[in-house]
Structure 1
């Protein structure tokens, strides 16, 4: 008998629960109702969950706030308290996207992060890349075909983004300080350069997409770029640029983390659901 509770979340969470319904015997939900989810769930509050029976508690992709705040689809957050967590049995897993300080400090159980899994990261790179392409099309006055597109970072997302833009006819230039990533980018046929050169090259870019979770988008870089360059930062908080500083420049500069949940929530939720079933199979060894 596998019983899980899903606390808060967004549109991805609905798709996640639909996928998990083929595995779990019972799904309790806090922050959603039966009509929203579409499969059989047991609606509860944080106070009346059967914590001692739960095999797993599933939290939102963005994790839990420093004060225990859990985001919900309707914008009315839940407040997870350490006293709730203490009521869980030792067998209870906690699954989330981001392992935030609150979870590190207050959960004496096994916590598993989706985003630390290679299968999730690679699968998520596809809707991420498609979302980047859509935003680039919507925020430029020219075609992507023949445009010069800078890709900052060549990890799992950077690779897929570079491939998709190249397939659309863009002239892709990859920037990274990792020798291995430079070699891989060149092997794929891309121009690959060190970050040390990016300010000198900045006026070449029509589109610049950053995947690096550090402040690599500097005022000096903005100063050198064309006024028409579209700059998209998909890195997680605190982002790759200072929003206050960016306002002083003429370019359209956006920070859009969590793209899969915004552009393809159904597919993103299915990715999380399949990964969660793999986690359950490994931890519990059985299903319905």
Structure 2
């Protein structure tokens, strides 16, 4: 890893505070800003934004970096942090990493010179995040479904990283697990996981719990009309999601919006995944 004088961590949720503390525990100097309403960050020095920028050679921005394209995603900051040329100018000649940075880089032309990198695109982070996402989804189902998952008929739509982790956990709990996908290789892979494979056209039966992991409409009115009032639908995919919410509402079905679970259910572990991705990026720089 290249020589680093100080890491600067700005804003974000509890993941970023755990991230700062974990990096500090590794022996690196760490400055933080934007956590004033969350309390002290162990091992890190709280500073002003300008002081942080002066001291830090590596800047770590939150995931997502911004939600509205106008302010940094910093829910625990004492005041909002505006995204403009003045903000971007603080980080010239710095190494900047952030999560889901598309709207951030659109906030100032200066980002073209800074060239921040997106740690959210790292495969190791995506693989890691699938674990707390699956665990969080199962926790939601335990709380919201009126029966037990043992013996429950569960459907997973999509069989990527999250879908596979869900299948392992649900089968271990004694659920009857089905999964739907488009790719023929995924349908074959489901059998190796002990899961009943379906195409999306074959979702014509009732399920107790449906977990969607696909960010495209795959559970429409025909499938939803087969469900009943006790069916729980858990939406894990980012917008626009895979569940037809209008049809689900009209049918009186219970849908839980459960996006961004790693930061909500396992911020400490999620922080470790981000740290590993950042360290790998620094090694490769």
TM-score range (shorter-chain normalised) is 0.7 to 0.9
**Cross-structure match for 1:218:** 220
Aligned ranges for residues 68-83 of structure 1 at < 5 Å?
68-74=70-76, 77-83=80-86
Matching residue within 123, 127, 130 for 2:132 = 127
After superposing the two structures, state which structure 1 stretch, 207-216 or 57-66, moved more.
57-66
Structure 1 SS opposite 2:40: helix
Aligned ranges for residues 1-288 of structure 1 at < 5 Å?
1-23=4-26, 25-33=28-36, 35-45=39-49, 48-49=50-51, 51=53, 54-74=56-76, 77-90=80-93, 92-104=94-106, 106=108, 107-108=111-112, 109-198=114-203, 200-201=204-205, 203=206, 205-241=207-243, 243-283=245-285
After superposing the two structures, state which structure 1 stretch, 116-125 or 23-32, moved more.
23-32
Q: Is the 8 A contact 1:149 1:172 kept in 2?
A: yes
Structure 1 SS opposite 2:215: coil
Call closer, same or farther: CA 1:17–1:87 in 2, change over 3 Å: closer
After superposing the two structures, state which structure 1 stretch, 113-122 or 98-107, moved more.
98-107
**Cross-structure match for 1:286:** none
CA-to-aligned-CA distance 1:199-258 (integer Å, 9 cap, x gap): x23x2x110000001122323332221221100001112333454553322221011111
Structure 2 SS opposite 1:172: strand
State the 1:112 CA deviation: 2.6
After superposing the two structures, state which structure 1 stretch, 225-234 or 24-33, moved more.
24-33
Q: Is the 8 A contact 1:148 1:170 kept in 2?
A: yes
Q: Is the 8 A contact 2:137 2:258 kept in 1?
A: no
State the 1:104 CA deviation: 4.9
Call closer, same or farther: CA 1:102–1:66 in 2, change over 3 Å: farther
Q: Distance in 2 between matches of 1:138 and 1:84?
A: 42
Give ranges in structure 2 of 5+ residues lacking alignment: none
TM-score (norm 2): 0.88
Give ranges in structure 1 of 5+ residues lacking alignment: 284-288
Q: Distance in 1 between matches of 2:147 and 2:253?
A: 15
CA-to-aligned-CA distance 1:161-218 (integer Å, 9 cap, x gap): 11111111111111000122112112222111111222x23x2x11000000112232
Q: Is the 8 A contact 2:83 2:107 kept in 1?
A: no
State the 1:5 CA deviation: 2.1
TM-score (norm 1): 0.87
Q: Distance in 2 between matches of 1:38 and 1:159?
A: 35
Call closer, same or farther: CA 1:83–1:270 in 2, change over 3 Å: same
State the 1:36 CA deviation: 2.6
